[in-house]
Structure 1
Amino acid sequence: MMLPVEVNTREGELIFQSNAITDGVYKITLDEFRLLNLAISKISRHDKPEKRIRITTKEFVEVFNIKDKNVKNRLSAIADGLLGKTIDTYSFDQDSGKKTKRRRLWLSEVEYDIEGEENVFLEIVFSTEISDLLFQLKDNFTLFALRAISAFTSPHSFRIYAWLCKYRNMYNYRKGELITTDTISVYDFKVMLGLEKSYEEYKFLKQKVIERSINEINASTDISVVLNEYKASRKVIAISFSFVREDHPTLQSIKPKRRRLPARPRVKSGSNAEVEWAKKCIEIILEYENALKLYDKEARLPLPDLEKLVGYYELCGEDKKISERNCELKERKSKRK
């Protein structure tokens, strides 16, 4: 049973996709996830499937907080990669009753701005095969906010978060405010994420994929999630996730959010004014880190905030702090590989 869904937002705020995509099997990069989700967020509920979707370098950089001087070529390379990528979706054949797999291309066309150097754009067109899973959806869809996923640094965080969101409005999976997903075998979970040939040992899958994604989801989205494990002969063979929605009125004020950082003043590099600005930014990020720890002792700063913190310490010349935080940054990034 589905709970009613209220939607009162502008284009670019929400992502609607069929549950077939949410449950589908595909493997794409972090940047490809970013481009896809930004494009999907631009689809209004009454748009026609042939809509051309324009994405600019400016909005790509701003939404995902990307620092790249060559973002024009980066965006073009992302689109090039997506042109050949596919997604497998599953259904049952009406005549035979057998389960079938359907493979579809994500995109049918990309048009590039080849003359501009500032705020360059590209336009993409979703393939006709995938359009029925993105356009004019009436039911069986997954809905989530673009801003909720903008801080993710792992492609698996995108997949797991979307899969969780599928259950948000399903009454049968709810017990009070707690929502628990279907149980999925470890193998099927790996297949869904395109990892069927990786992480032969569950402990590495848990450490490098599941726990990292849970940390990102808990730190930057509107839900708090925990992992459930199911064992046979001491071996984990299946998992599920339980979570609470933090947009619920009783939870809305609990999970900490970072205050907006002040804009950099237009002053000379290395000046006292720049140092004072950096100190204010450090204060805000450390305040946020402390609040996260109080909320969840296992919580850590999102990597983008940790990288910012290192940069601010560099402006202030705090060598000891730079060394400490760089070690933390190196250790956390090594776990992503």
Structure 2
Amino acid sequence: MEIITKNDRNSNERTVCSLKEIEKRKIVEHNDLITSVAKMDKTPLKIFELAVSCIDTENLPKDNIIYLSKKELFTFFDVSDNGKHTRFKEAVEKMQKQAFFEIKEEKGKGYNVKSIVPIPYVEWNSYNDVVTLQFQPQIMPYLIELKKNFTKYALSDIMRLNSKYSIILYKWLCMFYNQYEHYSVKGGRRAEQVETYRNPSIKISELRSLTDTINEYKDMSNFTKRVLDNSLKEINAYTSFNVTYEKIKKGRSIDSIVFHIEKKPVAKNEYYKQEEQDPVYLENKADREVKQQALFTEAMQSPYTKLLGEKWLINVADMQDISTMTGLAEKVYPLYDELKEARGLKGVETHLSYVASKQEGYSKRNVVKYLKTAIEGYLPTVALQDLEQPERANTKKPKPRTLEEVAKDFLPDYQNETTAEEQEELDKIKADILKQMNGEDLDHE
């Protein structure tokens, strides 16, 4: 990034944020800002995101002022026609006069609403390349006080999105997927909760509020096309995500949307090279890779994988997909262990035969979710059957170990560490144990 370091606005030297290395740049915002309502069009919103990417939280801008290169600013928006200055002026005017964030924060039993114009001051002239932007002081806590509840994403992804709804949805999806990646590695959340971060749900009313479409696209089919389908088409094409969704009905109406987020295996931009220089990223990446490899190996060696293949519930492509196999090992196979404990391996096979007979029409993209849902629905039935009919429970559970078997475990270890006197005493104890097992009377001095 090309930066001239000087924070004095009155000086000829200014901190100019260049876009020459845009692929390496990140944006970090508080989650309350991510979930706020952006009352603005695409261009003002992108100007704001670009400006945020120039904030150095280790060296905060004096008076909340940052400096952009005019030339690079037009490059960011891919503007090359003769009317670019007029269009930029119109966008700035709209951002200052009409655009604002409506931030809703929970306070006790109620909530607090703030309306903040993010960048009220913009200055540029005809004789140099610098554009001056000043953030509203009230917006700064959401951009610099980032000790918790914040989201990081790529500026290059925002640059490629051409719809306001795409930008809003992308940031919202990042907020959840970042938590999925964090808790998958660090722990601290139940497995079911971690999975919801990768498959976040939102009510239609909340989605309309988030995208500022409460009074627009009232017909659901139009809303689906304009806000959902078009946005996800862009997100899937230009960002690091592949996202699908499903509609959840309540009665005859659509109540909510569940998104399914997958990270693309190969990044399409240089942003990720910048991450590779981040020690925290490297540590998390190494942990993820070790855990992923262990889960993949575990899945490939599991008898459940063989059963799933025999029942045509997974195919060769699935077994070559690391995400699918690690998902099975982590989310599904532990549940199969519970069924095996209750019904034996034959019981697992019977369950999978039934699932296979009902699988018509389900999406192979969600094979892990499909199998997990199936076994989660069946296990309570098994538990109830075992309570009502104990004879149905698995009779092939391991027998209790004998005293001799237990002794064989610990006595040799103790022998390696004991003195001669202690060894003599241990030999006597072992002899007594063997006599007792053989029904002989113990003969103590």
Would you call these one fold, judging by a TM-score over 0.5? yes
* Other-structure match for 2:165: 156
Distance in 2 of aligned mates of 1:12 and 1:133: 22
Q: Which has the larger displacement, 157-166 or 130-139?
A: 130-139
Give CA deviations for 1:264-303 in whole Å, capped at 9, x if unaligned: xxxxxxxxxxxxxxxxxxxxxxxxxxxxxxxxxxxxxxxx
Instruction: Check the 8 A contact 2:203/2:255 in 1, yes or no.
Output: yes
Distance in 1 of aligned mates of 2:254 and 2:23: 42
Pair 1:175 & 2:195 matched? yes
Q: Which amino acid aligns with 1:212?
A: N
Larger-Rg structure: 2
Distance in 2 of aligned mates of 1:153 and 1:23: 20
Distance in 2 of aligned mates of 1:21 and 1:34: 14
Pair 1:48 & 2:63 matched? no
Distance in 1 of aligned mates of 2:71 and 2:134: 20
Q: Which amino acid aligns with 2:132?
A: E
Structure 2: gaps (5+ residues): 1-20, 184-188, 271-445
Distance in 2 of aligned mates of 1:109 and 1:46: 23
Distance in 2 of aligned mates of 1:256 and 1:83: 32
Equivalences for residues 291-330 of structure 1 within 5 A: none
Shift of 1:106: 1.0
Give CA deviations for 1:191-226 in whole Å, capped at 9, x if unaligned: 111111011121111111210000000001001101
Q: Which has the larger displacement, 43-52 or 195-204?
A: 43-52
> Secondary structure at the residue paired with 2:64?
coil
Distance in 1 of aligned mates of 2:211 and 2:24: 25
Q: Which has the higher helix share?
A: 2
Pair 1:74 & 2:83 matched? no
Greater than 4 Å deviation, 4+ residue runs: 9-12
Shift of 1:12: 6.9
Q: Which amino acid aligns with 1:63?
A: F
Pair 1:57 & 2:70 matched? yes
Among 143, 158, 163, the residue aligned to 2:152: 143
Instruction: Check the 8 A contact 1:230/1:239 in 2, yes or no.
Output: yes
Distance in 2 of aligned mates of 1:46 and 1:188: 35
Q: Which amino acid aligns with 2:84?
A: V
Pair 1:13 & 2:25 matched? yes
* Other-structure match for 2:4: none
* Other-structure match for 1:225: 243
Instruction: Check the 8 A contact 1:47/1:135 in 2, yes or no.
Output: no
Distance in 2 of aligned mates of 1:209 and 1:137: 29
Shift of 1:235: 2.0
In structure 2, the CA distance between the partners of 1:236 and 1:128, relative to structure 1 (3 Å rule), is same
Structure 1: gaps (5+ residues): 1-8, 258-337
Q: Which amino acid aligns with 2:238?
A: S
Normalising by the residue count of structure 2, what TM-score does the alignment of the two structures yield?
Answer: 0.50
Q: Which amino acid aligns with 1:233?
A: G
Shift of 1:232: 1.7
Distance in 1 of aligned mates of 2:67 and 2:112: 34
* Other-structure match for 1:199: 217
Distance in 1 of aligned mates of 2:23 and 2:242: 26
Distance in 2 of aligned mates of 1:92 and 1:28: 23
Instruction: Check the 8 A contact 2:22/2:156 in 1, yes or no.
Output: no
Aligned-residue Cα RMSD (Å) equals 2.6
Shift of 1:103: 1.7
Normalising by the residue count of structure 1, what TM-score does the alignment of the two structures yield?
Answer: 0.65
* Other-structure match for 1:101: 113
Distance in 1 of aligned mates of 2:147 and 2:247: 34
Give CA deviations for 1:135-163 in whole Å, capped at 9, x if unaligned: 24222111111111212111110000000
Q: Which amino acid aligns with 1:107?
A: I
